[in-house]
Structure 1
Amino acid sequence: MTMDDDIAPDGAINSAPAPASLIPPLNQTAVLLDIDGTLLDFAATPREVWVPPELATTLRELHARTNGALALVSGRSLNDIDLIFAPDTFPAIGGHGAEMRLQPDSEAVATHSPPLDKELKRRLAAIAKLSPGILLEDKGYSLALHYRLAPAAEKAIYEAVSLIRAELPNAPIEVLPGKSVCEIKHAGFTKATGVRELMTHEPFKGRRPFFIGDDVTDETVFAIMSDYEGFAFSVGRQAIGVAGHFAAPSEVREFLARLLDKGT
């Protein structure tokens, strides 16, 4: 864990306090966690990510010790999240806020997020033909073009998306640049809108949350943590407005395991 330094207007450096000291007792805390690049190391393709057994154990114990106030917050669909963490299921926000599940055994709830228009999705999907290394992922509410296996195609992908947006200026879509992925989703919802909705429900309501994320799409959640007297931590970079950062997912996993020693 590394503490982030914020530069004050007068040039002085204000160091953030050590994150472990910020976390309230677990029975007063809401634990909100991004998945890819935060809990799990990146893999060549989205389907190849791996959940270490010790992480599964940590998440189960944190879910129990917080009385259920642990949620995964991801751009992945809830179905995809469940496949990755099977046989475990957790409360979760999926699809960048398009879906939500409050209890492990409850039904998924769509949060007023219409799926992408079929014709628009067809045109966007055709971009994957630019290179054999581009992987297309249809999440229903969004469409992702992964280019980890075709890094040279990044510029061409974004140019093609920009051309489609220029031809359809009224299409209610938003482009999310990520780590080796370009994701296009319906506008009007974000991870932050999902978290705001989540925090109105038990057992999350009234708790002080902390959120850990790594990507640009997580910045909307970083920005609202102070509204709940909570804290945000970034992974792999020193993002603006966070209380600290981790170098890699392995540090996040170690940190979460150590939280179990804090008691309730």
Structure 2
Amino acid sequence: MTPPHDDSAIVATLLAQPDRAIFLDFDGTLVDLAATPDGVRLQPGVREALSRLAAHHDGALAIVSGRPVDQIDAMLAPLVLPVAGVHGVERRGFDGQLHVAPTPDISPVLARAQSLAVLHPGLLVEHKRGAVALHYRLAPELEQLCVREMTAAVQACPGVLLLHGKMVLEAKPAASDKGGAIAAFMREAPFAGRVPVFAGDDTTDEAGFATVQQAGGTGVKVGAGASVAERRLDSPDALRAVLLATPQPEPGVAYDDIV
């Protein structure tokens, strides 16, 4: 039986409506979380389902992730979609143009995170464009130490915000977030004039939920936890099931034909 908080049928209906603009987070949403960022795997059929969904919406489907754009491309290859990476610091539109937002100096945060990781081998540091992520999934007992150290480092860096995600702390530019990335997509073809839907799983996705709902669209929270999102899916498995059931585009039409 579908859990009472699982809106799979409603989400399937939303994704099938041809006037929607679809935005999807990646980790914890399209793919299950893993012990390390490079340990995630795209389940069979998901790439093809994304291609069908993009064709169904005339290309108005984008990935909005904390990962860099090139990592998303590598995960989805040979499929190439519009992508916002590093919480909106990087954004490639439908036209293929890459937009890069200005970023503050995060070298002090990077140095502090790397020093911490040297002392505690269970910690993993990711250095992205204008951002630093400190993962403690392999050392959950170090959470408070990581929070204390990263908070102090960020406080010494103007223009940098600390995000508390699922077993990760990420320092990123305060001026860039997923809500801003979605808003930028919505000003461009083929997203403009459509009703946005955004699915995500973490606190880093809340700005995106707020943005789409303020625009009359729908936020979809994947998994447990408090959220401003109006709709809920039980797990990434539930979202993948919805995607795998997406309608076929018109005969002879594929996403590659419209890009």
TM-score (norm 2): 0.88
Is 2:157 the counterpart of 1:162? no
The alpha carbon displacement at 1:42 in A equals 1.0
Shift in alpha-carbon separation, 1:57–1:225, aligned structure 2, 3 A = same
The alignment-based identity, stated in percent, is: 35
The alpha carbon displacement at 1:29 in A equals 1.0
Question: Could you tell me how far apart the structure 2 residues matched to 1:250 and 1:139 are?
Answer: 28
Question: Could you tell me how far apart the structure 2 residues matched to 1:21 and 1:55 are?
Answer: 15
Q: Deviations over 1:9-38 (max 9, x none)?
A: xxxxxxx89524761754311110000001
Q: Is the 8 A contact 1:32 1:71 kept in 2?
A: yes
Shift in alpha-carbon separation, 1:145–1:238, aligned structure 2, 3 A = closer
Pairing 1:156-235 to 2, within 5 Å after superposition = 156-166=145-155, 168=156, 171-235=158-222
Total equivalences in the alignment: 250
Shift in alpha-carbon separation, 1:65–1:119, aligned structure 2, 3 A = same
The alpha carbon displacement at 1:70 in A equals 0.3
- Regions of 4+ moved over 4 Å: 1-5
Pairing 1:84-163 to 2, within 5 Å after superposition = 84-103=75-94, 106-110=96-100, 112-114=101-103, 116-163=105-152
Shift in alpha-carbon separation, 1:139–1:174, aligned structure 2, 3 A = same
Q: Is the 8 A contact 2:125 2:135 kept in 1?
A: yes
SS in 2 for 1:145: strand
SS in 1 for 2:232: strand
Question: Could you tell me how far apart the structure 2 residues matched to 1:117 and 1:164 are?
Answer: 9
Match of 1:45 among 36, 56, 65: 36
The alpha carbon displacement at 1:238 in A equals 5.1
SS in 2 for 1:260: coil
Question: Could you tell me how far apart the structure 2 residues matched to 1:107 and 1:94 are?
Answer: 13
List alignment gaps of at least 5 residues for structure 1: 6-15
CA RMSD of superposed structures (Å): 2.5
List alignment gaps of at least 5 residues for structure 2: 251-259
